Amino acid sequence: MNETLFLALMDPAGAPAHPLIFLVLGVVTFALHIAAVALLLGTLVLAIRGAIFSRDAYAQRLARPAAFTAKFVVGMVIVLGVAPLLFVQVVYDPFWYTSSMLSAGWTLAFLVLVLAGYLALYVFALANDEGGENAGPGLRRASWLVVSLIVFIAGGWVIHSLSTQLLLPSEFMQWYAPQGRVDPSGRALHYSSIPRLVFFLGLAFPITAAWLFGMRAYLLGSQERDGGYIDYLEMTGRRTAFIGGIVLLVSGAAWMLTLPASMQWFASSIWPWAGLVPVIFFLALPALQKKRRLCIPCNYGMFLMSIVMTIVLAALREVLRYGTLLQAAGYDAMQYKVNFDLPSTVIFFVTFLLIGGVALAYMIRLAWQAGRPQGAMTVSAGTERLGTAAVALLLAWVAGYFIIGIATITGAG
């Protein structure tokens, strides 16, 4: 393989900051994205089970908040999916570009699948919007939930294949010109690892279990009177977490055993053993929950720790990608050319941390207060001030965007 080819394909403009920043941000944002994906799939399964397949009154009751959670989370999945993709394009652009062009038809199909899954979920939501998630157990047009689940899984399979193809640069020429004949159609997905796909989809079990524990704590805090429903949430969460731990352990081991030759260095390194830490945590989640079942903050802590463990798994995924491309193509992402741009770096972090952080804090605080009282909710003065600040910061950001843009264009002219 001509290693200088990939170096020549690097963006001559370089990165606006050190590549390590983009690698770290890529890990964090991918972890948040895959956690949102896991919660989306898990809540869809719970909604489908309660609305279509179960006659249990509590399963049917759970179906409605699960379905409405899925509707909310799908927006997070899409928004949080943009950031890690952009960071991949910045640092690994020669490989991502090649992979997406070799399967260009599927790259476009992915967008169609996401749109179709999104629309299917909202067709369902429009049929059940009267009274929101508290309107009762009955759900109409629940078959649209099944359509949404299938389509989203198909979309996950496509993006999984595109992401794994970029790790096999030695196969690019064979995929582009099989048997010496150029195939520019982009109709084929050239590589998939079923154990890897199952591993990341399997995160739906523990993440959804943690959501169930958090929901249980939320209802306890709002003085839910139906103790049977509270117990059902805990039982379902513990069972789901245990199944998830087994799925992750088995699929993770199968993934390591079936790695291609260019990635086998990872299986024989210490890194997979580090991956056992989050898997063991997910396996132990039912026992941890049982021990802390009366501690409401601990229930929320389970969800936060699940996110932390997902970040650990995302970091190991990045190690695999970094090391494989370094060995297979001599491509060191840390040596990416840097043309430091202070204004764009400052704008990014101000947007990400300040504006996004305040808006997120407002939504979390509002949701927390909504679950505390019985009956009508009264928004506190502090929450109102936080909401006002979130809107003011967003308006300031939009104004700043146009001011900086106009100034830049005027100065360039």
pLDDT digits (tens, 9 = 90+) for 68-86: 899 889 988 988 898 899 8
Residues 270-282: what's their mean pLDDT? 95
Which residues have a Cβ under 8 Å from the Cβ of 235 and sit 6 or more positions away? none
pLDDT-based confidence at 1, cuts 50/70/90?
A: low
pLDDT at 374 over 70: no
Residue 246 or 343, more confident: 246
Residue 268's pLDDT is: 93
Q: 372 pLDDT exceeds 70?
A: no
Among the listed ranges 129-143, 171-185, 293-307, 356-370, which one has the minimum average pLDDT value? 129-143
- In this structure, of 179-188, 251-260, 363-372, the range with the lowest mean pLDDT score is 363-372
Q: Is the model more confident about 181 or about 356?
A: 181
Binning pLDDT at 50, 70 and 90, where does residue 35 land? very high
Q: Is 90 exceeded by the pLDDT of residue 249?
A: yes
pLDDT at 3: 61
| Residue showing tokens 């982009």 | 186
Does the pLDDT value for residue 371 go beyond 80? no
Q: Confidence band (pLDDT; 50, 70, 90) for 350? A: confident
CB 281 within 8 A of CB 309: yes
- At residue 373, the pLDDT reads 55
Alpha carbon distances (Å) from 200 to 46, 73, 245, 247, 294 = 18, 17, 12, 10, 31
**Residue 306 structure tokens:** 């699940």
Q: Give the residue carrying structure tokens 């491509």.
A: 331
At residue 140's C-alpha, the angle toward residues 137 and 146, to 5°, is 100
pLDDT confidence band for 2 (50 / 70 / 90):
low
Q: Out of 58-67, 222-231, 385-394, which region has the weakest mean confidence (pLDDT)?
A: 222-231
User: Which tokens hold the place of 122?
Assistant: 């909202």
Do residues 359 and 398 touch, judged by C-beta distance below 8 A?
no
What does the alpha-carbon distance between residue 39 and residue 290 come to, in Å, rounded to a whole number?
22
Q: What is the DSSP string of 115-172?
A: HHHHHHHHHHHHHT-TTGGGS-S--SSTHHHHHHHHHHHHHHHHHHHHHHHTT-GGGH
Residues 6 or more apart whose Cβ sits within 8 Å of residue 369: 377, 379, 380, 383
Confidence band (pLDDT; 50, 70, 90) for 45?
very high
User: CA 319, CA 317: separation in Å to the nearest integer?
Assistant: 5
Q: With bands split at pLDDT 50, 70 and 90, how would you rate the model's confidence at 307?
A: very high
Q: pLDDT confidence of 370, banded at 50, 70, 90?
A: low
Share the mean pLDDT of the chain.
88
Three-state DSSP at 64 gives helix
Position 272 pLDDT exceeds 60? yes
Inform me whether the pLDDT recorded for 67 exceeds 80: yes
Q: Among 169-178, 287-296, 399-408, which range has the highest average pLDDT?
A: 169-178
Phi, psi dihedrals of residue 373, rounded to the nearest 5°: -90, 160
Residue 186 burial by Cβ neighbours in a 10 Å radius (0-12, 13-18, 19+): middle
- Sorted by where each begins, the domain ranges of the chain are 3-340, 341-413
